[in-house]
A and B are shown apart, each in its own frame.
Chain A
Amino acid sequence: MHIFKNTTYDFLRWRWQAIGLSWVIIIAGAVMFATRGIPLGIEFAGGTAVVAQFDQTPSVQQVRTALDQHYPGGGQNTVVQLYGDSSLRQVMIRVSQVGAESGASLSTEAQQVETALRQGGVGNFKIVGTEIVGPAVGRELRTKGLSATVLSLAGILLYIAFRFQLSFAVGAVVASIHDLLITLAFLTFFRYDMSLNVIAAILTITGFSTNDTIVIFDRIRENLRSMRRDALGQVINVSVNQTLGRTVITSGTALLTAIALFFFGGEVLHAFAFTMIVGIVTGTYSSVFIAAAIVSFWKGKAPTRAAAHAPAPASAPAVQQPTRKSKPQRKARAS
């Protein structure tokens, strides 16, 4: 079996449409973010979450009423949702407050929620899990999460710049940032909480989407050597087409596992798997449409520079290192 055999799609022709589509999604995400924000998970926002297992699953409304009547501050700012598989009869209640961050009083809110449920008469239950995060931890994690993402992108940029050329590195990192923004946009559309697991998924995606990009870049580099007479755009198109089968299949297998996680991985991994699915799809798309396009923009400018500096390598070819020499030549070919 062989899909995408000897294809000759002109991917670069579609680059403006592709970039336009990406911008539409990113801007829509930004608007959504500006108006409704992105819901922060308990690790980042701080707060108290209690998971109760009932003998008989109450309705969300029943739990809310119990909180309204017996929880100090009422049930307005609380999140009540069924948790996990319905056969487990579990309900999660999340409130934004925590007890004072002094001594052992952090858990007072959790106790108040429990008391409210007991007094509210929503049936027999036991608390199977609690999660209480004070504001200090949330603050620290927010800065750490951001710096880890930025550093990991910078690390990948440096590595690709070292192994390829700067233009490739820029292409790869722009593609990664693109994937990041698109994924964030989808997270805001679908209102998933930004949690530690989601950040982990996002960081994995930056690694994974660079994966695809590197494979395509590798082929471009190889073809630049063998297709000396062709224009850069042609080389890029041929390279993307040659690796297309591989790009789609590997994303497909990764996607299969992410989908398995989404449907069978349970409550905790739900947002994680969703992020992975979006990330894998957008990562593949950006490798094909965005990364190579960026390289062509970046290098497309190069001929004018190369032309301006043309006399320099010609006047002193003997003193130049061979590797040095190959660069301006390649840029000239690109024109």
Chain B
Amino acid sequence: MLAFALRRIAVSVPILIVAAFITFALGAAAADPLAPLLAKNPPAPPNVIAAETARLHLDEPLIPRFFSWLGGLLQGDFGPSTTSTLNIGSELGLRFMVTLRLIALAMLVAVVLAIVVGVVTAVKQYSITDYTATFVGFLFIAMPSFWFAILLKQGGIEFNLAVGKQVLYTIGAASVPPPSGAGAVVADTLGHMILPTISLALISYASWSRFQRASMLEVLNSDYIRLARSKGLPRNTVMVRHALRTALIPLTTVTALDVAAIIGGAVVTERVFQWKGMGDFLLTAIVASDTYALAGWLLVSAVVVILFNLLADLLYAVLDPRIRYA
């Protein structure tokens, strides 16, 4: 298992470096950081533009720029922002913690829901429960996430009005200023997380539950399950120990593959609920043509996706011993 893990980690390193180059090139190619400065009226003096060009390393070719960026990254320096007071690294770190909270909880909720619903609908195939869950699943697969999030937000506001006090928070990731006391801070943070988590989780849950149902059905129809039942093992043991363990393998892959989509979904969710997270950072960086901020953002998200894929591969090996020795 350790050898497998080490081998798998070694493979991710080159992928990470290539991903870093692509994100950097993308950030550099897509945005002209001087555009806001050049568009100024009255025009900025030439020496200001020259100084800005030098500060943002725009006078250097792409490849050396990339390597000096990479070198800086190793020391925790994400490069200069077009907003000269902004430290991209520390700002991105703060924003990342906010978004990670949302993504991690939403994924957890979605996976648990998907497994429960997937297993129940597979076991009770063609029942009313199955049809209802299938319909709801398809509905969420077809629903635009921002539309659903806006509806939820409105629902939250109306719920607050109905009970006469603020129970569900609909704006921001935490109260400003934060309440006093550690318990109150946790409660406040959780209160802000409820609606965004639901909206992000339900969108991914829908397709995952379909996957879980399909793989569970496939396993339930296989010979070894019939054998386990016929040799007298209790139904619950067969379901959990024999069927579910095997049926979890496809879901692991799908979940890891969908991480990139969830990060994209979080951008939208944060926009609706006006969180100051990674999504807001990205959208601000795009509008400001902030190349280093864009490259930093894309790199962080690529690292998260690669880490999740690594995690999925390791989990895969835990679930399926055959993979360890392949």
Q: Tell whether A pairs with B.
A: no
